[in-house]
Amino acid sequence: MSCFCCVCTESGKIGVVQMFGEFTGTMDPGFGCIPWPLSNVTSVPMALQQLHCKSEVKTKDNVTMSVITAVQYRINRDNVKTAVFDIVEPEKMMRAEVDSILRSTLPSMDLDEAYEAKEKMNSNILGSVRAAMDKFGYDIRKVLITDLLPERSILNAMNEINAAKRNRQAAFERGEADKVLKIKASEADAEAKRLAGVGMASMRAAIAQGMKDSIGFMKESGMSEGEAQHMMIMTQYLDTLKEFANSKSSIMVPHGPSAVSDIAAQIRDGFANVHPNASPGQQDMGSPKTGMGRLFG
């Protein structure tokens, strides 16, 4: 005598039906009936699952590290019987395959190469675990190495090395920046001096042209060339004294009836010394009858 019993299989799972312990089929998610107590239903998840593996390995340069690996897998619906009944601890088998690949691969790499070869190791682990578990009804979808964890002292040393490299690069960049600033400052200073020279030359040319025009005008008014030159020199001297008077600087100037004559004589003597090739008439412009003698009595 038996009666029917109602069973409900959740979504994302499949019901494995057994009668007297023997596998008789599967039941889709939802409502169903089985002859109880002759049969029973066991729910098996069909959703994608993830297994975390932690492997302790040593690299070629004798650095011990922990490798964290994530294996994403699911049960093959067409091979549910094998996945449920022909294997006892599938997760241990997956961990063993992961450890085997990592411990045969990483010892041939140094620490830096291990960080660079993550994609290669992912591919090797995926191929090995998939080949080992496919015959047991497990479909391995993806393998990811999520972390490489060397010892804390090794991590600190790596951070110090990277910090030293960054500091050296920063010092180099600062030096290059200072070099550029100094070069640009020198170029700016040279250009400023060049422009100042150009301005000074232009100013002197303008002064010379002005003096030439003034001398020409005075010659046209009846003065000799020597008298015109002395007039210009004396005017420049008096303008200089005026500039001193208007500024905060001070200058001592002798004062007296003969002061003007003395100043004129000093200017005349300086002009004659600067122009030793001047004509006798020009050198003689300080006599009482010519030149500054007539201008300043």
Residue 234 gets the label, from left (phi > 0), alpha (psi -120 to 50) or beta, of alpha
Residue in this structure with the two tokens 């009858």, named with its chain if needed? 289
Report CA torsion sign: 244, 247, 251, 257. positive
Q: Residue 94: what pLDDT? A: 93
DSSP string, 11-63: TTEEEEEEETTEEEEEE-SEEEEEEETTEEEEEEE-S-EEEEEEEEEE-TTS-
Q: What is the pLDDT along the chain (297 residues), one digit of tens a residue?
A: 446 677 777 887 888 888 888 888 888 887 777 777 777 888 888 889 999 999 998 888 888 889 999 999 999 988 888 888 888 889 999 999 999 999 888 888 888 888 888 888 889 999 999 999 999 999 999 999 988 888 887 778 877 888 888 888 889 999 999 999 999 999 999 999 999 999 888 888 887 888 778 777 777 777 777 777 777 777 777 777 777 777 766 666 665 556 656 666 776 676 566 555 544 444 444 443 343 333 333
Whether residues 217 and 230 share a domain: the answer is no
Bond preceding residue 37 cis, omega within 30 of 0: yes
Of 140, 15, 152, 143, nearest in space to 84 by CA: 15
Structure tokens at 34: 């089985």
> How many other CB atoms are found less than 10 A from the CB of residue 234?
18
CATH number at residue 80: 3.30.479.30
What residue numbers bound the domain in which 270 lies?
224-297
How many domains, in total, are found in the chain?
A: 4
Whether residues 248 and 190 share a domain: the answer is no
Of 276, 277, 268, 274, nearest in space to 226 by CA: 268
Helix (H), strand (E) counts: the chain: 9, 8
Q: Residue 126: what pLDDT? A: 92
| Strands 39-45 vs 13-19: parallel, antiparallel or unpaired | antiparallel
The domain boundary, picked from 150, 170, 204, lies at 150
Whether residues 252 and 291 share a domain: the answer is yes
Whether residues 144 and 68 share a domain: the answer is yes
Contact 246, 225 (CB under 8 A): no
Q: Residue 283: what pLDDT? A: 44
165: which residues sit within 8 A by CB, 6+ positions away?
A: none
Whether residues 202 and 235 share a domain: the answer is no
Whether residues 60 and 133 share a domain: the answer is yes
The domain boundary, picked from 150, 171, 204, lies at 150
Contact 145, 57 (CB under 8 A): no
> How many other CB atoms are found less than 10 A from the CB of residue 112?
11
How many angstroms separate the CA atoms of 149 and 114, rounded? 11
Q: Residue 297: what pLDDT? A: 38
Q: Residue 52: what pLDDT? A: 93
Whether residues 118 and 191 share a domain: the answer is no
Whether residues 281 and 213 share a domain: the answer is no
The domain boundary, picked from 202, 222, 242, lies at 222
Whether residues 29 and 83 share a domain: the answer is no
Whether residues 69 and 108 share a domain: the answer is yes
Whether residues 37 and 66 share a domain: the answer is no
